[in-house]
Amino acid sequence: MKSIGFIGTGRVARIMIEGWKRAGRLAETIVVSDAATAAADAVAAEFPFVVKGDADTAAAQDIVILGLHPPAMSEALPKLAPGLKADAIVLSLAPKLRFTKLAELLGGFSRLARQNPNAPSIVNRGYNPIAFAPGLDAAARADLLDLLTPLGATPEVDETTIEAYALISAMGPTYLWFQLALLRRLAAEFGLTDAAAREAVAAMTHGAAATLLESDLPPERVMDLVPVKPLSGDEDTIVGLYRSRLEPLYAKLTA
């Protein structure tokens, strides 16, 4: 398997590395680097098989994964460009910066891809849309998909949709987790064992999603399948919160 270099070792690096570990698909060489040395130290401590290095070392690997926030890219990428292998693959995990800008910052390097990994990749159940730049040939795309598929579904999408996926699939779990965690706690308070609570919440969540998205019933019909709706009086407030938080953020990411 090709060597991997992380530029930036935040949450997503941990998620991906743990996912590969669980799947038994670790690359022989994984280099992690971060301007905040404590972040790289923490990843190296958690995963002793990774190599802590500087940005130049990480950029010299076969597949270079950019885990930087968009504002940091403008400064970091021109410095990394000279150290990239001619046949390297650069995978950006950041929203906002599109292929044209990434290539410009990398001095014309065009073997690029962009992806929105989501947190369930840590248990190999991710939904991680990916877009390929025109300069990335079929063999390189296959190599990248071979690396990423163990983390979960990796549908190829148009680059213009990456920001929408960032809000829906990448950030989406955060809109639901606290609610599911509460249901699990309430289930225990109401007398279920922890094992039964886990099973009930998981089955309900999967089944509810399948009913809404796979039954071919209109959403109004689906939501009328259960006669007792304890939160119905709060639905407008909750919908308003979603719109007031997500619409401005999407506008910011696509500006």
Residue 78's pLDDT band (boundaries 50, 70, 90)?
very high
* Domain carrying residue 118: 4-157
Q: How many CB atoms lie within 10 A of CB 222?
A: 15
Task: Dig out the tokens for 53 from the structure.
Answer: 């290095």
**Mean pLDDT computed over 55-73:** 94
Output the pLDDT for position 208.
97
- Alpha-carbon gap, residue 239 to 68, rounded angstroms: 31
Per-residue pLDDT, averaged over 236-253, amounts to 96
Boundary-marking domain end, from 157, 183, 206: 157
Residue that finishes a domain, picked among 123, 157, 191? 157
- Whole-angstrom CA distances from 145 to 90, 130, 142, 170, 227 are 13, 9, 5, 18, 45
Q: Are residues 117 and 11 in the same domain?
A: yes
CA distances from 229 to 218, 224, 233 (A): 18, 9, 9
Domain presence at residue 97: yes
Task: Report the alpha-carbon distance of residue 15 to residue 73 in Å, rounded.
Answer: 21
Residues 148 and 184 occupy one common structural domain: no
- pLDDT (mean) for 100-111: 97
Beta-carbon contacts of 172 under 8 Å, excluding residues fewer than 6 positions away, are 118
Q: What pairing do the DSSP bridges indicate for beta strands 63-66 and 152-153?
A: unpaired
The predicted model gives 84-107 an average pLDDT of 96
Do 93 and 25 share a domain, yes or no?
yes
pLDDT at 1 over 80: no
How far is C-alpha 58 from the chain's CA centre?
A: 20
Same domain, yes or no, for 31 and 69? Answer: yes
pLDDT digits (tens, 9 = 90+) for 137-188: 999 999 999 999 999 999 999 999 999 999 999 999 999 999 999 999 999 9
Q: Is the pLDDT of residue 56 over 90?
A: yes
User: Based on the structure, what is the number of domains in the chain?
Assistant: 2
Residue 206's pLDDT is 97
What is the Cα–Cα distance from 86 to 67, expressed in whole angstroms?
Answer: 21
Same domain, 129 and 229: no
CA distance 34 to 52: 9
Provide the percentage of residues in the chain whose pLDDT is more than 90: 92
Domain boundary among 104, 123, 157: 157
CA distance linking residue 34 with residue 252, whole number of Å: 26
- In eight-state DSSP terms, residue 167 is I
Report how many helices (DSSP H) and strands (DSSP E) the chain contains, helices first. 11, 9
Q: Are residues 214 and 143 in the same domain?
A: no
